[in-house]
Chains A and B, each alone.
Chain A
Amino acid sequence: MNSSNKIVLRVEGLKKYFPVRRGFLQKVIGWIQAVDGVDFDIEEGKTLGLVGESGCGKSTASRLILKLLEPDEGKIIFRGRDISRFSQSQMKPLRKEMQIIFQDPYGSLNPRMTTGESIEEGLRTLGVKGRAERKARVENLLKMVGISARGADRYPHEFSGGQRQRIGIARALSVEPSLIICDEPVSALDVSIQAQIINLLKDLQARLGLSYLFIAHDLNVVGYISDTVAVMYLGHIMEYAPADELYDNPLHPYTLALLSAVPVPEPDHRRELKTLSGDVPSPLDPPPGCRFQGRCPLVEDRCRKGEVGFYHASDNHRVRCWKVLGR
């Protein structure tokens, strides 16, 4: 990776297992390996796209980075400091640095607060004194995301989904963060609105120098906004490469399958669909070996035995598969 760029967030070997309890005594009968050893870097002013099917641990990873969940293992290094063992009170000053935008624009705003009040919550924790000062800042933030200042007195239900997503972005920006985790921010929106939100995010990145962790399951969207892409499957990262490289030269069978499922806007385009059979298996006590073994078209015996490590296809292209180097 280009070492001249400053790394905002580095995640190393991040793990989170959730216990599954059953019965009268609530005995632990197994562990859901939601995030199982994830590593990635986010550079200053850049976007890392995190792609994967639902239930693969993308959202859990985002909650772990924000320390809304306690990680079991691994390091979360934010601007040179490992915050993975920080207590909630130690996290307090860092909360302003990292913010989150949610998938569901209907659930992410308090229905009993006006948008102005919701955004003010951030300004309060930032320590902005004075009602007039806060009001002015709220209007500024709303303007920044393309909502008129009058919107500050309105309630969330008076806005459309796209507008609410903009308000969610304004709330995240209220504490002047440097890293924003976008947890599927466009998945719940219409395609035309998706483009607007994506462009807004790109625009804000250019103006404010934000770094994004962009979580999505739509490869088109991720490819458009990301500088680097990590493909995740059942708690593991399967392929990790710069966006152009990943789209031009996908190596992991899972990435190939995902890319072949992306619709292409050309009516004459004929392609070979590499449809995957079956569903994502349960992350409850997965078998040893490669996580993808159950659905992989190229599966061999050795995939079912030892853990598969990363192989470097090139300097900054890592793949968790034997097949990369033709071996």
Chain B
Amino acid sequence: MRRRSGIEEFWHLLKQNRLALTGLAIFLLFFFIALIGLVQTTGTNPTFDPAMVRLQEKLLPPLSRPNLETLRPEEVPRLGVYLFGTDDLGRDVFARMLQGAWVSLTVGFVAVGISVLIGIFMGGIAGYFRQNHVRVDHILFLIVLHSGVVLLLLWVRPLWAALVGGAVWGFIFSFCWKKVWKRCQLSGWLNILRKEAISIDTLIMRFVDIMLCFPSFFLILTVVALLPASMYNIMIVIGLTSWMGATRFVRAEFLSLREQDFVTAARALGVNHWRIIFRHMIPNAMAPVLVSATIGIATAILTEAGLSFLGFGVPPPHATWGSILSDGKRFIFDAPWLTFAPGFAILIVVLSFNLFGEGLRDILNPKLRERY
């Protein structure tokens, strides 16, 4: 019998896993709706106007019809009905949900993507190199390299120029490190720079502890206050402040994996470190990370909501699911649909991604595949 190729095999297994397939379908549906919302709620005369204020129509329950006598023709909602009701300013919640879908989904996924990538990288290094020591000059090198890149990112606009500048800076600095610093002889007290200071594991995990000590919300607030408020800055900042959990998960997995015989065998074969980390260890360490990532998406959406609530998020009147939710909190007894609509939307996205994540975990695990 012919073996299926990787993608065919993946699709075949996904089709058998009903829950995962449902999760993926719902998630794609939401993504599609978000795209529609992106197009249909912007422009001068959008199909669904999320910013249209109709004070006489405020706090109407879902599916109620607009009072045509008090509204001007252009104020009447396009569907002829308030699908999810109206909020305290008489704005159509359905239109606001549509507008917020794109921001909320991308904030959730990009932020979690960033945090998981950083987590895998940091946790992987900490768990794999563990007791290897770094020298004082290594730490100084990293600090100077990174502060250079961060300063460029803060001060140089547009963004691409800063990124190019960062790359050039990194290249020049690494070159100097390799060709100049490593070859020069140090005399006397300067030798302290070459002293082995601390193990890589301790360095990274104590840094994680330090990051966990900050109340992360206030850390985000500080950074957001310094940066111009935009959707992308918020995604990046949320990602950069929530990688600690993933780091700990990955490190814990790596600590147990590195003692396994197949890793020893790879080392004995002379496979290089990065290949061992990426080909042998990360695929075996992904399961708990995927699960925590699915939960992280909900947290990221809600963090964005909190930021919007305090005025640091996506600037109003642009709606996000989070801001609809936190605005609606005040009317939770009079107009529960204001909290329920975005709440359910977040719930369904998280749930569908969770189902898909679990299915993905099973599909990627060869042990749970059936023989054929």
- A residues contacting B by CB (< 8 A) are 63, 66, 68, 91-92, 95-96, 98-100, 102-104, 107-113, 118, 121-122, 124-125, 153, 155, 157-158, 168, 171-172, 174-175
Contact = CB atoms under 8 A, between A and B. Distances in A.
B284 A110 contact: yes
A121 B271 CA distance: 7
Contact of B269 (A63, A112, A121, A158): A121
B265 A102 contact: yes
Contacts of A174: 269
B367 A155 contact: yes
B261 A104 contact: yes
Contacts of B275: 121
A96 B262 contact: no
B265 A68 contact: no
A68 B268 contact: yes
A291 B145 CA distance: 55
A254 B156 CA distance: 76
A111 B266 CA distance: 13
Contact of A125 (B261, B264, B270, B364): B270
28 contacts: A68-B268, A92-B270, A99-B269, A102-B264, A102-B265, A103-B261, A107-B260, A110-B262, A110-B266, A110-B284, A111-B284, A112-B364, A112-B365, A118-B262, A121-B266, A121-B269, A125-B269, A125-B270, A125-B271, A153-B3, A155-B369, A157-B366, A157-B367, A158-B371, A168-B265, A172-B265, A175-B269, A175-B270
Interface size class on chain B is 20 to 34
A209 to B, nearest CB: 20
B68 to A, nearest CB: 63
A172 B261 CA distance: 13
A42 B271 CA distance: 26
Contacts of A66: 268
A171 B269 contact: yes
Contacts of B364: 112
Nearest to A123: B269
A102 to B, nearest CB: 4
Contacts of A99: 268-269
A157 B369 CA distance: 10
A107 B261 contact: yes
B367 A108 contact: no
A169 B265 CA distance: 11
Contacts of B267: 68
B262 A108 contact: yes
Contacts of B366: 111-112, 155, 157
A153 B2 CA distance: 11
A206 to B, nearest CB: 24
Interface string B256-298: 0000111011111111000100011001100000000000000
